[in-house]
Structure 1
Amino acid sequence: MSLAICPGSFDPLTLGHLDIISRAARMFDSVVVVVMFNSGKSPAFTVEERYAFIRKSVAGIPNVEVDTYEGLLADYCALRGADAVVRGLRVMSDFEYEFQMALTNNSLHPQTETIFLPANREYMFLSSSVVREIARFGRDISPFVPPEIALDIQARLCGKEKQHERG
């Protein structure tokens, strides 16, 4: 049984992320979307919130599960016995970073391959930071995130911007 890991910070999950997850689910018997802790980032949402957003969004994909992990991706892959890590690529700068990570993970756990999936054209511009910025200014994010979580994201981030305006 083939197992793929789709790691990320997912702060928040976007339709671009969901597209990569859905495509991976068609390629592998089982896919684990894992919310990773990244010490270099200050997330807008807690790990628990991101986990819940993803669970809601992938509920209709039977071979996808969601998990969290605080540690090295290579260690998580070894723990789960993963065959592959699936990463989406939007632009060349994504490739440079992801290629470096793939080589590092391979040196730590050579049993797991990294597979790069190019973003669909409609999502090439889309990132979590773009969604956060749009939401903070009260604009509609529904074209960019799964409908199950759009209102939660909007309410949380738009509320933060309004608090900053008052403070």
Structure 2
Amino acid sequence: MKRIALFPGSFDPFTKGHEDIVLRGLKLFDEIIIGIGHNANKQRYFPLEVMKTLIEKTFLAYPAVRVETYDGLTAIVARDRGARFLLRGLRNTTDFEYENGISQVNRSIYPDVETVFLITSPHLAPISSSIIRDLHRYHKNVDEFLPYRLSE
């Protein structure tokens, strides 16, 4: 059976930390679906389709990675895509507390799903999408934190 993982998130924006989780995840899974979720309660900073295109370009050399957008419950999306794993990155204990609760709810919705947590590589741990958005909002170059260029 093919080991398919869904890596869900808003990815607003997708960072080098996210890229690191995907690349390391490829050692564990046959296929990774990067799922850009639509959250009706959040206003995106970077347009969804722009981010999808940038992420797709980032992984052009990796046929085992695909990018999709979705609306709805992550566990149901995983089930519908045949993904038995949810891939998540953890930077710190705050991330763990948040992700632990979500993983338990996802498992109650889709009992066959397992959440796999990868600890963020130490040099990437300080990077967060919210910090990058703030820097970008104030016209600071953020390309060093991203696996693609926004300044082009």
Larger Rg: 1
Amino acid at match of 2:20: D
Residues in 1 aligned to 2:132 and 2:140: alpha-carbon distance in whole angstroms: 10
**Matching residue of 1:60:** 61
Amino acid at match of 1:142: D
Amino acid at match of 1:49: V
Q: RCO greater where, 1 or 2, for CA within 8 Å and sep 6 or more?
A: 2
Q: Specify every segment of 5 or more residues in structure 1 that has no aligned partner in the other structure, as ranges.
A: 153-167
Residues in 2 aligned to 1:88 and 1:40: alpha-carbon distance in whole angstroms: 22
TM-score, structure 2 normalization: 0.94
Alignment length, in residue pairs?
A: 151
Residues in 1 aligned to 2:124 and 2:79: alpha-carbon distance in whole angstroms: 31
Aligned residues: CA RMSD: 1.2
Residues in 2 aligned to 1:60 and 1:75: alpha-carbon distance in whole angstroms: 28
**Matching residue of 1:73:** 74
**Matching residue of 2:93:** 92
Deviations 1:112-157 (CA, angstroms, capped at 9, x unpaired): 10001000101111111111111222222122001x33325xxxxx
Structure with greater helix percent? 1
The answer as to whether partners of 1:6 and 1:31 remain within 8 angstroms in 2 is yes
Q: Specify every segment of 5 or more residues in structure 2 that has no aligned partner in the other structure, as ranges.
A: none
Any residues of structure 2 matched to 1:99-138 within 5 Å, and which? 99-138=100-139
**Matching residue of 2:151:** 151
